Amino acid sequence: MEFSAADHGGSGPTQIPTWIEWDGAELVLYPTGATVNFSRDLSSITTFEATYAYVFDQVAGTPLGAELARVAMDSGRYIILLVRPSGFQTLPEITGYLGLLGIDVVAEPIDQNLRRIQVR
Amino acid sequence: MYRKLKPRDGSGIVDLDSLMDILSCLVGVMLFLVIYTVLELGSTTFEAVVPAVREAPFGSERVVVVADRGTVRVLDARGPIEALLSGFAIVEYDEAEAFVRESNQRIPSDTYFRYSLTFEDRLTAFGLPLGTLDLRIEAHEGVVGDSIHQLEEESTYLALLDRLNPETAWLAFAVDGESVEVFRRARDLAITRGFVTRFGPVSVDFPFVHRLSLGGAEVLLSPRSTRAKLDR
């Protein structure tokens, strides 16, 4: 399935999306396919503070972490988070972490069995 | 594979080895075609557009669309809350329980849900009276929402949308894992009718109880905006 972002319209500056997928166990950056795995279930971590620290540890030093840093530094960019149903429960943890970085997030549900995701 | 040919002795026995070879090849080719076709069908390209997030009109209130078990149901609690709480502002604390009993006799109901109040009289840790007023929402037995195949012009979903004003209501889709497809179709239909929509990965179990006291009604109908930076 090929995803595209709708034009936000208006006369403001163009907003550029970065596409990331979340399935409850890993974050995948598109279109490169760079992946960060989470061996711990985020919902089992008792506090948001500890959750964010764990996510930071996993993401730091990866291509995904570098991309998040770039998005956070650029007000003209935001993230479209494609969420599989297996990631629904822990979506607040991920959006909360991205929010902590000052990143705007638009969550979009996708089918659990969807393969061959393309973005443009 | 090379197979050594048996010498023919001319005794009239029909040799079927060559036929078997041909049949084996044909079966192999057919298997390949079937596998190829299945793979191609599985990789058919579909396009999906992630809609732009728009800000809800000022003063508009939330209407929930429950997208669960592959169907959608509109849950508009505004009218029932108004009906149930009519006159509540002038009720004294001691009269609250009686008010709720009387109010529940109205039994507001819509296509999918029926609404009632519950009142709990309790004390704070300091011994002060602290009554809590809750809204209880029950789903009608046996009434199911519209599936993706029913979301056409005559669907209940669209009939209910037509009763709503996009200037005074925005739609919050509570979506479970089984209902992504029907949610996407229902959202498209709502957007073409001018509604602002939001997605939440939420499973709603009924009966659903929501606290109305201590500002709970406002939380239900006008939750704090979580709009993104790009909307500001």
Residue B47's SS3 state is strand
Q: What is the DSSP track for B65-107?
A: EEEETTEEEEE--HHHHHHHHTTGGG--GGGHHHHHHHHGGG-
What number of other Cβ atoms are within 10 A of residue A35's Cβ? 13
**Min CA distance, B226 vs chain A (Å)?**
10
The answer to whether residue B9 is domain-embedded is no
Residue at token pair 């990866």:
A62
Residue B2 burial (CB count, 10 A): 4
Instruction: Find, in chain B, the residue whose alpha carbon is nearest to that of A72.
Output: B229
On whether both B115 and B207 belong to a single domain, the answer is yes
For A97, half-sphere exposure in the C-beta direction (CA atoms, 13 angstrom radius) is: 25
Report the residue of chain A nearest B201, measured CA to CA.
Answer: A88
Task: Output the tens digit of pLDDT for each of chain B's 232 residues.
Answer: 566 666 665 556 667 788 888 888 888 888 888 887 766 655 555 566 677 667 778 888 889 999 999 999 999 888 888 888 877 666 667 777 777 888 788 778 888 999 988 888 777 777 777 778 888 899 999 898 999 988 876 789 999 999 999 999 999 999 998 899 999 999 999 999 999 998 888 778 888 888 877 666 666 665 644 333 333 2
Same domain membership, residue B107 and residue B32: no
Residue B192 forms part of a structural domain: yes
Interface test with B, best of A43, A111, A118 (most B CBs within 10 A): A111
Contact call for B201 and A83, based on CB within 8 A: yes
> Would B210 be classed as within a structural domain?
yes
pLDDT tens digits along B101-114: 887 887 788 889 99
pLDDT of residue B9: 59
- Residue B177 is assigned to a structural domain of this protein: yes
State whether B157 and B86 are in the same domain: yes
**B127 and B21 share a domain?**
no
> Which chain A residues have a beta carbon less than 8 Å from that of B201?
83, 85, 88-89, 91, 107, 109
Least CB–CB distance from B228: residue in A88, A104, A108: A104
| Cα(A89)–Cα(A92) distance, integer angstroms | 7
Task: Determine which of B44, B230, B231, B232 to mutate to test the interface with A (most A C-beta atoms within 10 Å).
Answer: B230
- Residues A101-112 have pLDDT tens digits of 999 888 889 988
- One domain, residues B216 and B151: yes
Q: Answer yes or no: do B36 and B120 share one domain.
A: no
Chain A nearest-CA residue for B181: A111
Contact of A74 with chain B, judged by CB distance below 8 Å, is answered with no
Specify the number of domains making up chain B: 2
Question: Is residue B6 situated within a structural domain?
Answer: no
Chain A residues with beta carbon closer than 8 angstroms to that of B175: 88, 109
Q: Are residues B40 and B65 in the same domain?
A: no
The whole domain housing B42 covers 17-46
Residues B38 and B91 in one domain: no
Per residue in A25-38, pLDDT (tens digit) is: 999 998 898 999 99
Same domain flag for B152 and B213? yes
Q: Output the pLDDT for position B226.
A: 37
For chain A, the helix, strand and coil percentages under 3-state DSSP, each to the nearest 5: 30, 30, 40
Contacts of B48 in chain A (CB under 8 A): 1-4
Q: Which of A88, A89, A93 to mutate to test the interface with B (most CBs of B within 10 A)?
A: A88
This complex has an ipTM of 0.80
CB contact under 8 A, A75 and B229: yes
Same domain, B80 and B172: yes
Q: Which residue of B has its CA nearest to A7?
A: B52
Q: Considering CB atoms only, which of A4, A6, A91 is closest to B201?
A: A91
Closest by CA position to B79, among listed B111, B100, B112, B109: B109
pLDDT computed for residue B33 by the predictor? 85
Architecture of domain A2-119: 2-Layer Sandwich (3.30)
In this structure, the answer to whether residues B172 and B198 fall within a common structural domain is yes
**Chain A: residue whose CA lies nearest to B175:** A109
Does B48 contact A78 at a Cβ distance shorter than 8 Å? no
Looking at beta carbons, which residues of chain B come within 8 Å of A111?
180-181
In a domain, B164, yes or no: yes
Is B50 in contact with A2 (Cβ distance < 8 A)?
no
B193-226 residues labelled b (16+ CB within 10 A) or e (exposed) = eebbbbbbbbbbeeebeebbeeeebeebbeeeee
pLDDT at A58: 94
Token pair for residue B8?
A: 């023919």
User: Is residue B179 within 8 Å of B71, Cβ to Cβ?
Assistant: yes
Residues of B in Cβ contact (< 8 Å) with A83: 201
Q: Is A75 on the interface with B (CB under 8 A)?
A: yes
B34 and B149 housed in the same domain? no
Would B5 be classed as within a structural domain? no
